[in-house]
Structure formats: C-alpha cells, structure tokens
Amino acid sequence: MKDFVTLFQEIDATTKTNAKITALVSYFQHAAPQDRLWAITLLMGNRPRRPVKTTDLRTWVATITHLPLWLIEESYYIVGDLAETLALLAGDQENTEAPVLTLTELLQALQQLAGLNPEEQQAFITRFWMDHRGEDNFVFNKLITGNFRMGVSKQLVIKALAQYIGQDEKAIAHRLMGKWDPAAETLESLFGERTIENKAYLPYPFFLAYPLEGAPEASLGPIGEWYLEKKFDGIRGQIIVRNHQVFVWSRGEELVTDKFPEFDRLKDLLPNGTVIDGEIIPWKDGQVLPFAQMQTRIGRKKLTPKHLSEVPLIMICYDLLEYNGEDIRAKTLEERRLLLTSLLALPSVNSVLQLSHLLEFDDWEAAAQFRARARDFFCEGIMIKRMSSVYETGRRRGNWWKWKTAPMTVDAVLIYAQSGSGRRSNLFTDYTFAVWDGDQLVPFTKAYSGLTDKEILRLDRWVKTHTIEKFGPVRSVQPELVFEIAFEGIQESKRHKSGVALRFPRILRWREDKPASEANTKEDLRALL
Amino acid sequence: MLQFREEGIYFPAADCYIDPWKPVPRAVITHGHSDHARPDMGSYLCHTLTKEILRHRLGPDIQVQTLDYNEPLHINGATLSFHPAGHIIGSAQVRLEYKGEVWVVTGDYKLLNDGVSTPYEPVACHSFITESTFGLPVYQFSSCASIYDEINHWCAQNAKEGYSSVLIGYALGKAQNILANLDPELGVPLLHGAVFNMNEALTRSGHLFPGEWLAPEIPADRLKNAVVVAPQSVLGTSWLRKLRPYRIAVCSGWMALRGPRRRLSVDKGFALSDHCDFEQLNTAIKATGAQNIYVTHGYQAVYSRWLREQYGLNAVELTTHFENNEEAITGEDQKTPE
C-alpha cells in the first residue's frame, strides 16, 4: 500500500488540479492491476464500511501507549480527527521485517476484519500500527474508521482515468456510475467496449446547474434563448426503463428503486430504452407537499399502503437522456424536450410523471419578480437552461443555471461553539445559535458554514476568551455575538427544543453592528412557518 | 513564596516580578520574546545574551542588568539565578530561593538541542512553573537535526525544480535555528527585514548568522532558486509576490497536526518547535524532583490532570497572559514585522 500512501500524500500536499491529475495518472501507471480498481473505488468515494468500533480503537491505542483513556479523548478533541489522533499516538516506527500488504490485500483483510472477534481485531490493528510509519497508519486509520476521503473530486478522478485509459471522460463517468465490486471487475470489464450493453441498470452522469450570481440580463443575454422552469425542492433522480425493468437512481448515485414503488408501473407504460431526468417531489391533490414529509417517507424501512397514499410521489420531468435505446445527450435541449413532451403525452403515465412546465416571461425583469416570490408558487427559484445546450456531465458553468430565491433569515445569538474536524480541527467552527423567548435564549439551529477563514480565526480567539463552561469539545460562550442565519425552509418539529427545524441553515454574516438584545425572538421565527 | 498578581508573577523577598505583563519597577526576564519581555519596566534583569535582544526590541535606553547562567544574585537574603532553558538564545529558567525553599520559573523551554541556544539543564526545586503549549501526547517532535535535514532536502529539491524556498519562522529563535543549519550548498539565504534586523542585534552579542537582506531593489536573478527566511507576518501578503516562482514552508510545532498545516495552505509544514512536546515536559518535570507544579499557557487543564494522576504531583493550572509565539502562527493577529 506504500504507493497508495504516497498518492494520498501527494494529493494532500497540493491544491493544484494539474498536480493532482499527474499524481493520479502516475499511480494508475505504476500500481498493481488489481490495486488500481480498489484505488478507483476509494477515490470515487466508495469508502469501506467501518469494520471495528471506534471506542475499541481508542481503548487499544490506550493499551499500547499506556495512556489513560481520558487523555486519548482530550487529544482527540484537540486534533479533531480520530484517524489522525490514533496515528499520532500509535507510533512512527517501521518494522522492515513485517509482511508488505498490497492495497488489495489490505482492503480484503479489512473486509474480513468485521467478522473477527474483538481480540483478533485488536491483534491485527495494533500489529499494523506498530509495524508502520505514522503516514501509513494515518491512511490505514482513515480506512478502518470508515471516513476515508481523498482531496479529489469525482470529476478529477474521471479526468485522470480518461487520460490514463485514453477514453472520453463522459464514457468513463458513465461506466463508473453506481456500485461495483472491485474484486469482481477488471479494467477491461469496467472500461471495455461491451460494458454498457451488459449493464442495463446504469444511469447517466447527472448534469448539474451552477448557481447564478448577479443579474441575468448582463450575463445571459436575450431571455428568448433560454428555457425557464420552476426549481422544485425534491430529490433529483433518473428513471430508467430498459429490458422491461424500472430503475430509479438518485443524484447521489444510489439505486433507490425500492423507495419509489409508484414508478414500477412505468415498465409497462414506457418503451424500453427510456431514461428520464427530473425532480421527485411529494404531490397530493394537485399540490406540492413539504419536503420533510417525503424525507420521512424515504427514511422508512418498510413502506405500507398508508404511507404511499399519505405522501404520494411524482417526478417532474425536465429532460430525456435516452430515447428508444439511443443516447440522445448530444442533441439540443430543445430537441430532447420535444421528444420528452411526446413521450409524456401518454395520459396513462401522467399520474406519476409530469412535464416540467416552461415559465413564460417577457423579460428578465419579470423573471426576477417571479423569483423574488418563488415560495408563493411552491418552488425555491428558477432553473435557467440554454435551449441549444447538450446534456453535459457534472457541475459546469455556462448553459444551466439555478437562480434560487433569497433565503429566509433571522438574527441569532451564538451560545455554543464546538471544534470542527479536518481542515477546521483545533478551531471552534461548529456553532449553535439561539433566539430570545422572553428573557431566555433558546437554541434553534447549528450552522457550520458561511464565515470566511479570517472570521473563523477571529471567532475562534473570541470563543477561547469568552468561554463560560466546557463540556468535552463543546463550550458555552457569553451570549454577546449576533449572526444573521439564512435558511431555505422552516418546519414544525417535535424533536427540537425550539419546536422548529430549519433546512440548509448557514451563516450569512456576522452582525457586529447588533447587540445580543436586538436578536430575533422565537415568535419572529414561528411567524415564518 | 511567590504571588500571582495582576502585574505578573511576584517574588516578594527580592521585590521583583518575573516576565511581568504590566509596568513594574523591577522585572526579571526569562527570554526576549515579546509576550515575556514587555516595555516600560523600571529596570530589567536578564541573561547576558538577552540584553541586546531587549535593547533591539524595547529601545536602547532601557536599564538592563545581566547575569550569566548559574551566577547567583543575592538580594535581601533571597537568591536568584538563571539556568539554560534551551528555548532561544539567552533564554533562562529563573531559580528563586528563599529560606531553603526553591522555585523555578521556566518561561518557555525545550529539552531538544537546537544547536543554537544553550542546551536545557534541569534544576532541582520544590515548585516548578511550566508552560504546556504542546502538553498532549499527540505531540511527539523529532530531533531538530533530523528536521534540519528535511528542510535542506526540501530546499535542494525546490532549487532543482526551479523554485525558490520560503521558510517561515519566528524572527527570534526559529529563524536563527534554520539559518545556522542550512546547507551552505544552497547559497547565501535572503532575509526578511525583521530577521535581518534581529540578526544584527545578535551580532552585538557575538552571534553570526548567514544571510543577506532581501532589499526591495534586489536584482531578480538573485531571487532565482534562493532560500528566503521570513516571519509569519508575510503569509498572505504581497511581499511574497516578487519571489515567484516559490514554494513555501512553515516551521512550527503546530505543523505536527494536519488541520493547522492545511489551514495555512502552504506547500509544506516542518514540525520544528522551540517548546517541549509531551515527553519532554514529563522528563523535565520528573528531573526537577518538584512536588508542586504550576501549569501555564497551553493545555493546562489536561496536562495538570495528567501530572496529578500519573505522577501523584500537586499540579494546578495557572492562568497567565503569556501567549505563545508559536500559537500566533495559526492566529490571525500575527505580530507585525519587527
């Protein structure tokens, strides 16, 4: 696994895309054939399942270092990353006599590890720690704690693979979709010519819109060249009908067919070789239901007819990627939409598939007015797609834009801070905010993002000097600072003390102009419900 | 025997404060870093090698009295002496004795030999005041010599690939450690003004370090593949622009952790520290034989609990106003160039 550790370090040490691609290509060229496949799964974000309990790991490192468990815990709070903490503690001595494992051997050993008893697990893991350098242990620990992550996007990996294999990026992206078993594949079986025909369930890589910043008239030109549609708050998905079977994929590349039994009937209604792209939303009696209701339904292990009738789901369809078995992504959106429209003209599919309607505006000004009031129309903004655009892969600027309505905001008081992890370890970056309820502050949300690096450092210093109490990694702080919190939605919630749950909360800005007494109240918050 | 006052650590028998943070008539200074040696004291008592540092930083008019290491000073029946702390040039532990009771105030110290400052010597005492900057077992520093090797190797590799090497370290202490151990094959290093001026001051106490001032008008070809030593205040500023193409490394104990290393978004971090790691602290404390340990700046709560539980020592936290010049490197309000 040495070469994989080297790859990890090279990628970790740079922020430059080209240096990362060079490192990846060089790894693919030199690694053992089977290792490449395991590396690809890891790089694409398919992490191995955690084979051991993290509390056991802490205990075992305490045993070999002769340190008390509480000191391991305190160290972990400071380091902010369990794998790194364990690696720093476990030692840095290489045993040159120890057997050298390939990446494949290591990952296969880890798969078996879960089935062993704790003593055997402990023996394997402590042996590894004592035989390896700190950098090896770090990567090893990332794998056994189940949160292995490499600083590369999927797109970057695809780019490097395309260079290495000498194929088109789109083809590579397509073949890497979904789950596959590195033990059962070879480079040939994955990327060879015949692959696609054998894998009828494979979706196409999603094309994602870029957020639009600033006014569209300046950057996008005449409105007549664009399709404008409502941006619904649902689950982006692809419905595939091939070989008389239906497959539903989410944008997270998960096969979620089981969660959506209402689409099953499409296998008899749509022609084989159909792939539709759209947003799955909860829909009842001609009305959009709140997103949270769908979330609850998705989370259920077992779906009863009652759940299905309470929260029926439909897909708002906006694109057609495959028609009569032909990949039509290279056609213009205008052409694809015509085909989609003809396909959905079939009345029998309309109970579960609806065409995404085009919004007609005379000019961008009218579109802006709609966007400002988007919530009144049960959507979260406008999608703007160039009529002549082909269906690309990944998130790209230029042809597809999302123009979301302004978020809801409240001014809230910072009351707790907790240290973050990874790049934010050793810094207080996870914040809990409260609003006034009479003269009490009630916590209502956490937020992690939105501050600049500079502000984070300043706030970290402030937290350290304004701590009231410490509870492990959490500190309560003097309720003095006010932040404007933005969010996309608000729901009643019985699980939260404040009685509300927010969707996508984040920090909009630090209100240094406001004292805590001028923060919003619980009533203000409830008025947004 | 000592009092912890608003102004600083007070030794009544000799009527003096050790590293006071507010103006007092008589200040005893452990070393020249700015959180320990502050301006506006009536008089300063420090180690011989610290004198020029104080004059450089606080002005030529300050009143300074000096002692060598292990040279006792008797005041009103109390005895005061300096002992090597191994932190930076001139850094000293202050040994205070009165009526048979001995205290040691360490200021900042390390046990690893950096090759520049006088190596640390343990001093037996009853009560020991220690910092705890890196007082967690996750901090395990390699020998300075092995890090100097890594630095030299990194610089050589950069030069080979056509890059200058910028080494970031505190202008007093880290900068000299780096300069004294740079491979002469790398050429004469270029110095930021803060480092250059500090070296000038150290020359007056007999220390010579290689390096030439990186003047604004320096010819461009002199910058090619050069080694540059600068304080952390240059990070994220336009000062670095003229050095392109360069690779930049931060030399600090904090670089032992990945989070701080990545946060600075520099090319490399060297965990070169002028402070004790966990094991050095343990070793130092055991060697003093002290029963009472006062733990200051750093992880004082955690580290004092460790001392109580592991060694049965009477260890307590002590809140001070010392920051840590290594800590500043991850903070935003970095000290301005001196």
For B60-72, the pLDDT digits (tens) are: 999 999 999 999 9
CA distance B269 to B176: 18
- Residue with the larger pLDDT of the pair B306 and A429: B306
CA distance A286 to A378: 12
User: Per the CB < 8 Å rule, is B299 touching A74?
Assistant: yes
User: Per the CB < 8 Å rule, is B256 touching A88?
Assistant: yes
- Residue with the larger pLDDT of the pair A451 and A179: A451
- Residue in A71, A72, A84 closest to B258 by CB: A84
**Chain B residues closer than 8 Å to A149 by CB:** none
Residue range A321-337: mean pLDDT, rounded? 96
Share of residues in chain A with pLDDT > 70 (%) = 98
**pLDDT tier for residue A198 given thresholds of 50, 70 and 90:** low
CA distance A229 to A213: 17
User: Per the CB < 8 Å rule, is B262 touching A423?
Assistant: yes
Compute the nearest-CA separation of B263 from chain A (Å).
6
Residue-level pLDDT at B335: 33
Report ipTM for this prediction: 0.90
DSSP secondary structure code for residue B320 in this structure: -
Residue type, B251: C
CA distance A426 to A404: 34
pLDDT in tens, B184-232: 999 999 999 999 999 999 999 999 999 999 998 899 899 999 999 999 9
User: Per the CB < 8 Å rule, is A426 touching B138?
Assistant: no
| pLDDT of residue B246 exceeding 50 | yes
| pLDDT of residue B321 exceeding 70 | no
**Chain B residues closer than 8 Å to A425 by CB:** 257-260
pTM above 0.95, yes or no: no
* 8 Å CB contact between A174 and A196: yes
Write the CA distances from A18 to A7, A14, A152, A185, B212, integer angstroms: 14, 10, 11, 28, 35
Residue range A444-456: mean pLDDT, rounded? 89
**Phi/psi of residue A156, nearest 5 degrees:** -70, -40
Instruction: Tell whether A147 is within 8 A of chain B (Cβ).
Output: no
DSSP secondary structure code for residue A391 in this structure: -
Angle at A134 between CA B149 and CA A424, to 5 degrees: 100
Residue-level pLDDT at B325: 43
- B39, B40, B13, B43: which is closest to B28 by C-alpha? B43
pLDDT in tens, B24-61: 999 999 999 998 999 999 999 999 999 999 999 999 99
Least confident of A397-411, B145-159, B169-183: A397-411
Instruction: Tell whether A424 is within 8 A of chain B (Cβ).
Output: yes
Compute the nearest-CA separation of B153 from chain A (Å).
17
Residue-level pLDDT at A5: 95
Residue-level pLDDT at A425: 67
Share of residues in chain B with pLDDT > 70 (%) = 94
CA distance A331 to A340: 12
